[in-house]
Amino acid sequence: MLTVRAPATSANLGSGFDVFGLALDAPADVVRVERADEISIEVTGAGSQYIPEDPSQNTAGVVAQELDAPARILIDKGVRPASGLGSSAASAAGAAVALNELYDRGYSREELVHIAAEGEAVVSGAAHADNVAPSILGGFTIARDDGVTQVDASLPLVACLPDLVVSTRDARRVVPDTVTMEEMVDTVGSAATLTAGMHRGDPDLVGRGLSEEVVTPARAELINGYEAARSAALDAGATGVTVSGAGPGVLAVCRSKGDRRQVASALLDAFDDAGVDARAYQTAIGRGAQVFE
C-alpha cells in the first residue's frame, strides 16, 4: 500500500479569516491506499466513530471520485473532527496526494489543493482551501480564489484542543456580515504584520498579527474557558493566541521550543479551571503531506 502522512492545520490565524493557514508538525492523519475496482473507506483513530465511511460523504471519497481513482482507502485519524485543527482537510489532502501518486495522475501540488478543496466542500458546504493548502504544501499559506501562495516558515507553536463540540456551521453563523472601516484597517494591519513575521521567522510579529476584532471575539464566545486560557498562555510567554480555524481548538505562538511546555500547561490549567478537559500538542509549523512507498 502507498502511505501518506498529511498534517493537521490551523486556518485563519486571526487576521486571515478564510485565507491564512499553516501546517502543524503534529498531529497528522495517515492515509493508505491501494488500487481497487471501487472506492471503499475505513476510518480508525481519533473520533473515527463520527466519520462517515460512505465515499460520497467522506472528504477522501469525494477526492477519489474527483481523481477517478477507485481505491481501498484506510484513514488513521490523528485529530478528531470538529476540532478546528483541519481534521477533514488532512484526510482530503492525504487522499489527494496518495491517489495522485497511486494512479500516476501527474497533478502538481497546487492543482491537488483545488481537488482536495472539493472534498472539503462535502463537510463544510463550501470549497475552502485554507486548511487543505497547508496540509498539502506545508508551511504558511495564503489561499485566495486566484491561487495559493506558500511561504516556508518555522515557528514553535502550541495547539490546544478542548473537549468541546463547536460545529463549523455554528461557528460560521456567528460571523458578522459587515465590518466597519476601522475594523478593516485594523485587520489589514494585523494580516500584513503576520505575513512579514512569517517571512522573517519572527514570533513577536506573528503573535501581534493574530490580533483581530471581528470574527475571533464572536467565535470565542462559543468556547467555554477561551478568554482565561488565552490570558494564561500570554502570561506564560506566548506572543499571541487565537482560535484555530472554526474552533474549539486554540493556537498559541511561542518564542522558543522551550517556552512551549509552560504555554501548554497554562492553557490546560485554564481550561481545567473552567471545567473543560483539553489536550495540548507542543508542535511547530511543519511540512506538507509526505509520501511513503
Tell me 279's DSSP state.
E
Residue 293 CB, nearest distance to ligand HSE (Å)?
Answer: 31
Give the residue with the Cβ less far from ligand HSE, 77 or 128.
Answer: 128
Phi first, then psi: give them for residue 28, nearest 5 degrees: -155, 155
Residue 129 and residue 86 in contact, taking contact as beta carbons nearer than 8 Å: no
Residue 293 known to be catalytic: no
Residue 38 known to be catalytic: no
Indicate whether 66 belongs to the interface with ligand HSE (CB under 6 A): no
Indicate whether 118 belongs to the interface with ligand HSE (CB under 6 A): no
Q: How far apart are CA 122 and CA 51, in angstroms?
A: 12
Indicate whether 124 belongs to the interface with ligand HSE (CB under 6 A): yes
Going from the C-alpha of 90 to that of each of 210, 265, 290, the distances in angstroms are 23, 26, 12
Residues 6+ apart with CB under 8 A from 23: 7, 8, 9, 134, 135, 137, 138, 139, 285, 286, 287, 288
Interface with ligand HSE (CB under 6 A), residue total: 11
Q: How far apart are CA 132 and CA 152, in angstroms?
A: 16
**Which 153-212 positions form the footprint of ligand HSE (CB under 6 A)?**
168, 171-172
Give the residue with the Cβ less far from ligand HSE, 83 or 239.
Answer: 83
Q: Which stretch binds ligand HSE (CB under 6 A): 11-19, 27-35, 59-67, 179-187?
A: 11-19
Residue among 29, 130, 212, 259 that touches ligand HSE (CB under 6 A) = 130
- What residues are labeled active site? 120, 168
Footprint of ligand HSE (CB under 6 A): 11-12, 18, 124, 128, 130, 168, 171-172, 245-246
